[in-house]
Structure 1
Amino acid sequence: MAEDVLSMPDVTNLVLENFQDPKFCYEVETFVNLHIPDFAVATTDGSHPLSWTMLHKKYKNLYEGQLQRCLQQCGSEVTEFMDYLSACNDAYSGDPNFQALLTALTASQ
C-alpha cells in the first residue's frame, strides 16, 4: 500500500485541480448567485448582520468540504497538508507564484 501514497506536491496539485473542477465551480457560483440579494441590502449602521456570518460559514464549508474530500481520496490528512504548506511558505514566501497559490487556497477566508 505504501506505493499508493502520493507525495505532498502531488496532493497539492490534486487539491488545486479539485478547486478548479467545473462541477465545484458551478456549485460555488450557484451559491454566490443565490445569495446576492442577501448581501445587497445595506445596513444603516454599517454593521454586518448575523445572517451574513452564517452565509459566509456555509461558503467556507463548500471549500473545506472539497478540500477534505480531495485529501481523503489522496490518503492524506489536513494537518499533514497544512504542515506542508507551512513549510513551503517558509521556503517560498518571497515567490509571487507561491503567494498566488496561497491566495487561491485561502480565498474563502
Structure 2
Amino acid sequence: RNSISAASPPLIILYKADTMVDANEGLWERLSAAAAPGGSSLEPLLRGFFESGFQAHVQQFVAERAPSFTEVCADGSHPLIWTQFHQEYRDMFEQQLDLILATLEMTKAELQEFCEWLQAHVEIFEEDSEGLHSFLEAVTASEEYESFLKAMFEEVRRQQLVAEPPQEGVAQTQELEVCVPEGLGPGQVLAVDYLGARYELVIPDGCEPGMSFRAAVTVAA
C-alpha cells in the first residue's frame, strides 16, 4: 500500500493553484479575443452594461420612479419605498450580469476568481492594464444606495426643468411642504433634505408638531 508523505498536501495545493492560473490565463485570452479593438479583457463584460437596450431599460426605470423621490425628508430618514426601488434597481443590474456571463459562457465564480487574479497582477506589477478598478466601480455602482439616490435626484431635476424651463439669470426655486416633527416648534430650525441637498428652515409661528408649512428654497439648476 502506498503511503502519502507529509509533503503531499502542499504539492496538491500547488497543483490546484497552477490549474487556477492556467484557467484564468485561458479566460483572459478568450475575453481578449472577444474585446473590441484596443479593448481590455474586461471590455466584453462591460459592453453588456452599456448596450443600448439595457440603458433604455434603466432610463425607463429611473424616469417612471422619479416622482417618488420629490419627498422632503427630515431627520435624515428616507421613505421605505426608496429602499425597495433600490433593491429593484440592483436586481435589474444583477439580471443583466447573468445575461452577460451566459453569453460569454462564464459563471459568477469564474468572474470572481478572474478578478482576484487580475487584482494580484495589479498588486505585483503596480499596473492596472486591464482597467480592473474601473470595471469594479462600474459593475458595483448599482449596489451603492447613495449612487442610486444621486441618479434618481438628477432625473427628478431633469423632469422639473423640462416641465418648467429655467429663465436665464433667475435663481431656480422650489416650494416645499414640510411637516413639523415631534420635539420642534415655532422659531426653531428644522433641517430637511430635498433632492440630495440640505436646507435649514425656521418653523413659522403657529406651526406645532404634526402641522405642515410651506417654504421656498433655491435649488441647483
TM-score normalised by the shorter chain: which range applies? 0.7 to 0.9
**CA-to-partner distance for each residue in 1:5-46, whole Å, 9 max, x for gaps?**
x82461733221110101101111111111112122122221
Match of 1:74?
Answer: 104
- Which structure has more relative contact order (CA 8 Å, sep 6+)? It is 1
Q: Percent identity?
A: 28
**CA-to-partner distance for each residue in 1:49-104, whole Å, 9 max, x for gaps?**
22111100110111100100111122211111012112222322664943222211
- Note the residue ranges of structure 1 that are not aligned, 5 or more in a row: 1-5
Tell which deviates more after alignment, 37-46 or 26-35: 37-46
Distance 1:74 1:98 in 2: 18
Structure of higher CA gyration radius? 2
1:54 counterpart = 2:81: no
Match of 1:103?
Answer: 137
Tell which deviates more after alignment, 60-69 or 7-16: 7-16
- Note the residue ranges of structure 2 that are not aligned, 5 or more in a row: 1-25, 32-40, 144-221
Match of 2:42?
Answer: 12
Q: How many residues align?
A: 104
Identify, as 1 or 2, the structure richer in strand. 2
Distance 2:122 2:57 in 1: 32
Distance 1:91 1:100 in 2: 15
Distance 1:40 1:89 in 2: 41
Match of 1:42?
Answer: 72
* TM-score, normalised relative to structure 2: 0.42
Identify, as 1 or 2, the structure richer in helix. 1
Distance 2:116 2:136 in 1: 10
